[in-house]
Structure 1
Amino acid sequence: ASQTSRSIGFEPISLLSAIAVQTERIGLVSTASTSYNEPYGLARTFASLDHLSGGRAGWNLVTSASHIEAANFGSTGLRPHADRYERAREFAQVVADLWRGDGNGGLNHDGQSFSVRDALDLPRSPQGAPVMVQAGASEDGKDLAARTADVVFSAAQTFEEAKAFYDDVKRRLAAYGREPEDVKIMPGVAPVVAATEAEARQKHEELQELIPDEVGVALLSSYLSISDLWRHPIDGPLPELPESEGMKSRQALVVEQSRRDGLSIRQLARHFAGARGHWRIVGTPAQIADELQARFEGGAADGFNVMPSWFPGELDAFCALVVPELQRRGLFRTDYEGRTLREHLGLKRPASDA
């Protein structure tokens, strides 16, 4: 692996299919791009995973924002942001229509990007349809989420940011005939927990020290869609960034944080690499539970996408220390209440077209 590699990149559906037969309750969600797939094939793949897992599959819809990915798929370049979302809207609709069928009859879809005739050669999913997940936070992204998503991942540093995003997405649902409880908004959180605050802070500092500058800056450059960040002094401020066709919402979040906290490129790169631009909480189980409870009860989150700094250690620490504290407060279940991913998330079974 190269110096900038973070992990081995298995093809996710193959990996999740193997995990499906080794597990009973855990949800299995994979990212797949609407820019480099076709709706019929993707719908069939995720429906197959859903059956193999007994109704535990989910699709994280992305439109792709990487020039490297575009080059790997024979593209002449990255599609403009608006074009990616126009294709994604139609793509998501076709997939949802295919999942709602029961294997009988056809599908007459003739759209701008796709033409689909046949239903899937599969019965209806045990959970009605795989769970649709999205993480777009641009205007196009939030609109697509309100139209089609079951779960929305988000990134927000402050309560105010999280609350504004939560209210914005929930407000958009009525235009598509949907209720607020039809979509679960789950902000990313990167916890570092220990028995005492001093231990937690020391652990966090040690983890941050492990991030080489070249890895941190390379990762930050990728998310900001800027290739020449190394030309700027690493202990100086983040330069003004040109308009790009990359992940616009994530760029704005990073730039705002760098200005607000007066961070140098080095500091920002380490902070970003440690939590991918997400909310970082460092503290005791009670302190972390306090923060999560405040955002949950304050109407800024329906749940959380927990993003440990390293596996399995920090995930084990969260499960052993924070989860029992949340259970004591009546904020987290003590046992599974169903078998499918929709049941775990408290989502309704989607209606059938049949």
Structure 2
Amino acid sequence: MRLRRLVLRRWVPTVNNARTARQVHLVGYFPGVNHSTVWSDPGSGSQVEFDSFAHLARTAERGLFDYVFLAEGLRLREHKGEIHDLDVVGRPAALPLLSALSTVTERIGLVATVNSTFNDPADLARQFATLDHLSAGRAGWNVVTSSEAFFGANFRRGGYLDRNDRYDRAAEVLRAAAALWRARPGAEFGFRGAQIRLDRVSGVTPGPQGAPVIVQAGDSADGREFAAEYAEVVFSPHADPEPAARLAADLTERLARFGRTREDLRILPSATFALGDTEAEAQENAREIARAQVTPQTAIATVERIWGRDLSNLDPDGPLPHEEPGEDELRRGQAPHLGERRKIAADWQEHAQAEGLSLREVVTRKISSFTLVGTPAAVAERIAADVASGRVDGYVLVPHLQPHGLDTFVDRVIPELQERGVYRTEYPEGTTLRDVLDLPRSPLLTRDIRAN
């Protein structure tokens, strides 16, 4: 299969436009549980059929993206004791799906979200090495954690893990997996940690990268420290300039403690987008998308999640509830603690009163994803400026329609980025995901990784 390259407007460097400009990195995301995908739209496809994932991957590859990224769902969320029917029901397992996608793509990276709390390092090391082999070095692992018994109920150990121990276990799982990737194939092997112990497990044959690219998404202090030590990409929740700059500065300081620099890490916040031929058209498209994302049912369910009360009698176009949140957690699998819920409720009430917002309007304002809004040229200019600032290295794009929503961005914004000299016109010579991300060798392979 010949890879179709998108080179609609080729950039020719000049003396005044040298190749020193920071290059934009882009990722295509197929989420699982989320409010951003408008599954009710007639343009939406299936969330389980292979063709949906293949289309997204091929489109992202046509746009010369770094990788495609799949979410993980250990269990469907529940709301008031029932399956939360605003969620996606049923999602394929990421690793076998990405293995299949490796056969219909050539260069784009393949990143799976896999939980380190409820999975064992020997199995994970073998599965990721297998994906790396099948894809010729394009595997990545988004390492996530969970301490909730709600998710743990589907696993033999249950929800045993204290919240404070999540990243301790994640670090041990990574170190044990790295030791397996580094071990001589067929050699006897042992690993001793506080939570992980491996005895006489034969080493796995590492893939072309030696270790998959490690992605991290947690934003707590422990999550950031874990990212500074092990991660090569941070899937950031901060896209606005001030919080993005604070995160970059914090990670840069933490990286130095592990002998790493800012250039050893890619920071990629998530963003959706709304394009138009004019600014006014783009703004109107953005409003329509946001309204489709936050239906009246979604608005009420979201407020019930925060307030911990049955609020089904409320008018979504009326005011927020006046009472404080109750003790009940009506949402399982996505419920902040009571103290956090009270802070969120107070913040929402303050904004609603200050700006005269209805319940649905304040929910839309507060839960909507960061959105790149404008003409293709304006969106490209914004992305280029964000990356030039050093706050971020690009974006993880989450279209509101799956799987075809990315097509418009690839067709209209990528050429604008190329014209500005901040985006590749072909993939680099190196064939691995780490080559595409322009990253050094994995820290898991270059440092002395010990059990403790």
TM-score band by shorter chain is: 0.7 to 0.9
Bigger Cα Rg: 2
2:279 is matched with which residue? Answer: 197
2:59 is matched with which residue? Answer: none
1:266 is matched with which residue? Answer: 360
TM-score, with normalisation over the residues of structure 1?
A: 0.85
3-state SS in 1 of match to 2:107: coil
1:18 is matched with which residue? Answer: 100
The structural deviation recorded for 1:6 is: 2.8
Tell me, yes or no, if structure 1 residue 333 matches structure 2 residue 424: yes
2:139 is matched with which residue? Answer: 57
Per-residue CA distance 1:293-328 (angstroms, 9 max, x = gap): 222111111222111111234311111111111111
Higher helix proportion (structure 1 or 2): 1
Tell me, yes or no, if structure 1 residue 214 matches structure 2 residue 305: no
User: Which runs of 5 or more residues in structure 2 are unaligned?
Assistant: 1-82
Alignment CA distance shift 1:118-1:196 (3 Å): farther
The structural deviation recorded for 1:346 is: 0.7
Q: Which amino acid aligns with 1:88?
A: A
Q: Structure 2: how far apart are the matches of 1:16 and 1:102?
A: 27
Q: Structure 2: how far apart are the matches of 1:191 and 1:74?
A: 41
2:435 is matched with which residue? Answer: 343
Q: Is the 8 A contact 2:214 2:231 kept in 1?
A: yes
1:303 is matched with which residue? Answer: 394
Per-residue CA distance 1:138-184 (angstroms, 9 max, x = gap): 10110011111111010124200001011111210121222222211
Structure showing greater relative contact order (alpha-carbon pairs closer than 8 Å, 6 or more residues apart): 2
1:110 is matched with which residue? Answer: 192
Q: Is the 8 A contact 2:125 2:181 kept in 1?
A: yes
3-state SS in 1 of match to 2:141: strand
Q: Structure 2: how far apart are the matches of 1:227 and 1:67?
A: 19
Q: Structure 2: how far apart are the matches of 1:55 and 1:8?
A: 29
The structural deviation recorded for 1:206 is: 2.4
3-state SS in 2 of match to 1:141: helix
Q: Is the 8 A contact 2:351 2:362 kept in 1?
A: no
Alignment CA distance shift 1:177-1:220 (3 Å): farther
Q: Which amino acid aligns with 1:215?
A: T
Q: Structure 2: how far apart are the matches of 1:285 and 1:55?
A: 33
Match of 1:166 among 248, 251, 260: 248
Q: Which amino acid aligns with 1:143?
A: E
Alignment CA distance shift 1:353-1:152 (3 Å): closer
The structural deviation recorded for 1:192 is: 1.3
Q: Structure 1: how far apart are the matches of 2:335 and 2:193?
A: 26
Per-residue CA distance 1:202-222 (angstroms, 9 max, x = gap): 222222232323235546877
1:323 is matched with which residue? Answer: 414
3-state SS in 2 of match to 1:187: strand
Match of 1:180 among 262, 267, 270: 262
Q: Structure 1: how far apart are the matches of 2:220 and 2:379?
A: 29
Tell me, yes or no, if structure 1 residue 142 matches structure 2 residue 224: yes
Q: Structure 1: how far apart are the matches of 2:100 and 2:303?
A: 32
Q: Is the 8 A contact 1:192 1:309 kept in 2?
A: no
The structural deviation recorded for 1:353 is: 8.5
Q: Is the 8 A contact 1:65 1:247 kept in 2?
A: no
Match of 2:130 among 48, 73, 76: 48
Q: Structure 1: how far apart are the matches of 2:304 and 2:229?
A: 31
2:208 is matched with which residue? Answer: 126
Q: Is the 8 A contact 2:189 2:203 kept in 1?
A: no
Q: Structure 1: how far apart are the matches of 2:229 and 2:311?
A: 40
The structural deviation recorded for 1:271 is: 4.7
Q: Is the 8 A contact 2:189 2:202 kept in 1?
A: no
Determine what percentage of the aligned residue pairs are the same residue: 36
3-state SS in 2 of match to 1:210: helix
Q: Structure 1: how far apart are the matches of 2:319 and 2:157?
A: 36
The structural deviation recorded for 1:195 is: 1.9
Q: Which amino acid aligns with 1:51?
A: H
The structural deviation recorded for 1:96 is: 2.3
Alignment CA distance shift 1:121-1:79 (3 Å): closer
Q: Structure 1: how far apart are the matches of 2:365 and 2:192?
A: 46
Q: Which amino acid aligns with 1:156?
A: H
Tell me, yes or no, if structure 1 residue 283 matches structure 2 residue 369: no
Q: Structure 1: how far apart are the matches of 2:399 and 2:242?
A: 23
Q: Structure 1: how far apart are the matches of 2:427 and 2:303?
A: 38
Q: Structure 2: how far apart are the matches of 1:79 and 1:236?
A: 40
Q: Which amino acid aligns with 1:116?
A: L
Q: Structure 1: how far apart are the matches of 2:371 and 2:205?
A: 42
Alignment CA distance shift 1:76-1:93 (3 Å): closer
Q: Is the 8 A contact 1:4 1:218 kept in 2?
A: no
3-state SS in 2 of match to 1:299: coil
The structural deviation recorded for 1:64 is: 2.3
User: Which runs of 5 or more residues in structure 1 are unaligned?
Assistant: none
Deviates most, 234-243 or 35-44: 234-243
The structural deviation recorded for 1:268 is: 4.4
Q: Structure 1: how far apart are the matches of 2:298 and 2:202?
A: 43
3-state SS in 2 of match to 1:186: strand
Match of 1:97 among 179, 182, 186: 179
